[in-house]
Structure 1
Amino acid sequence: MHGPASPGWLLVALCAATGAYCLLRMRSTVEEQRRTAGGEALMGFGMAAMAVPAAVAAPPHWAWLGYAAVFGAAALRALWAARGGGHHLHHVVGACAMAYMAVVMAASPGGHHAHGGSGVPLVTGALLLYFTAYVLVSGVRLLPVAAMTGSTGATVPGSARTPGWGDRPELSRACRLSMGIAMLAMLVTL
């Protein structure tokens, strides 16, 4: 991607940290959690690789085609997994967005995309709208239930099994939120 180097490196760090956390979540005892975490780890590390500032390391043309192939395959896998419902439809959209960005970068001369006078392309605009809505909804889901309902009910320590830090739903939601924000940042620079 192109743009200033400092925000680019922050985006790389955010995506790599998210990918690393998702790798740790793959140690969960819940099979569906492991599968979802694996797809999210791929997205996190792929986003980190694609966000490296072009001024530092401009990837060769074939690398963009490789990204497109990897994320195209990830989109097909997520589409297959979406037959059972759940969060997989978002993974389909995310993987398709990554493949789209890779194709745009491969098609542009020197790996830089220029819109010219035509404004934002339709696909980019639709993806921006989707990820903006996703980030807003994900942010609301992170609000504690007690804060949303106004209740102050406390749980008795030891009354329920506390999930491991890799199985905590709020951490996986925060992970998805950070990747949604990163996706927005990458789409804006496209």
Structure 2
Amino acid sequence: MHGTALSGWLLVAVCAATGAYCVLRLRSDCARARSSAGGEAVMGFGMAAMAVPAAFATPPPWIFAVYAGVFGAAALRAGWLAHTRANGGGGGGHHLHHVIGSLAMVYMALAMSTPGGHAAHGGHAGPAGGIPPVTGALLVYYVGYVLTTGVRLLPAAGPAPGGGPAGWGARPELTLACRLSMGIAMLAMLLAL
């Protein structure tokens, strides 16, 4: 990613911490929560790996094909889960978000694979050399996602549901906070592309 080393390392830290929390969520009793946590862990660790500043470690040229392959497979898995949940009456909305996120990572890996990143993608640039349309659409999507997830984190009036303290893997507000931080990190990565 382009940008300062400090911002790159901050992205690495946030994404790795989010991925680590998602690994803790894999121990949940709920199969749906485990499924979602697995996809989010892959996304968190993958985003952390892609955000490592180039000044620290110059990635080998083949790594971008690996990123594209891993996130392409993650998009297929999330798409399958969204399809089966939607047909089973359980909804698949969050898995559709995983599809979009995974495809965004494939897009960024492909953009980063060429020398100069987006600068070399002259055919992908928008009118008058502006933001490429795919990048713009992803930015709009993630701004909306971050805002709606942030609103869901606002405290509701009244006592908290559930009564007792929940374990680290079963805290819905922590799950939302992780999703919010990954959404913000995705925005930062798209802006630095």
Q: Same fold (TM over 0.5)?
A: yes
Q: CA deviation at 1:160?
A: 3.4
Percent identity for Structure 1 against Structure 2: 67
Code of the aligned partner of 2:69: A
CA pair 154-82 structure 1, distance change in 2 beyond 3 A: closer
Code of the aligned partner of 2:135: T
Distance 1:7 1:45 in 2: 17
Corresponding residue for residue 95 of structure 1: 102
Question: Quick check: 1:174 aligned with 2:177?
Answer: yes
Q: How does 1:44-59 map to 2 (within 5 A)?
A: 44-59=44-59
Instruction: Give 4+ residue runs of structure 1 displaced > 6 Å after superposition.
Output: none
Code of the aligned partner of 1:65: A
Cα deviation, 1:88-145, whole Å, max 9, x if unaligned, reads 0100000000010001111x21x63316661110000000000000000000000011
Corresponding residue for residue 133 of structure 1: 144
Code of the aligned partner of 2:19: G
8 Å contact from structure 2 (residues 24, 168) kept in 1 = no
CA pair 161-9 structure 1, distance change in 2 beyond 3 A: same
Aligned to 1:144, the other structure's residue is in SS state coil
Question: Quick check: 1:118 aligned with 2:129?
Answer: yes
Distance 2:37 2:159 in 1: 30
Query: Bigger shift: 26-35 or 123-132?
Result: 26-35
Distance 1:16 1:35 in 2: 19
8 Å contact from structure 2 (residues 24, 169) kept in 1 = yes
8 Å contact from structure 2 (residues 72, 103) kept in 1 = yes
CA pair 154-74 structure 1, distance change in 2 beyond 3 A: closer
Corresponding residue for residue 88 of structure 2: none
Q: How does 1:30-109 map to 2 (within 5 A)?
A: 30-83=30-83, 84=85, 85-106=92-113, 108-109=114-115
Q: CA deviation at 1:155?
A: 6.2
Q: CA deviation at 1:59?
A: 0.6
Corresponding residue for residue 149 of structure 1: none
5+ residue gaps, structure 2: 86-91, 123-127
Distance 1:68 1:164 in 2: 35
Which of 144, 147, 150 does residue 155 from structure 2 map onto?
144
Question: Quick check: 1:186 aligned with 2:193?
Answer: no
Q: CA deviation at 1:33?
A: 0.6
Q: CA deviation at 1:62?
A: 0.6
Q: TM-score, normalised by structure 1?
A: 0.89
Distance 1:20 1:155 in 2: 26
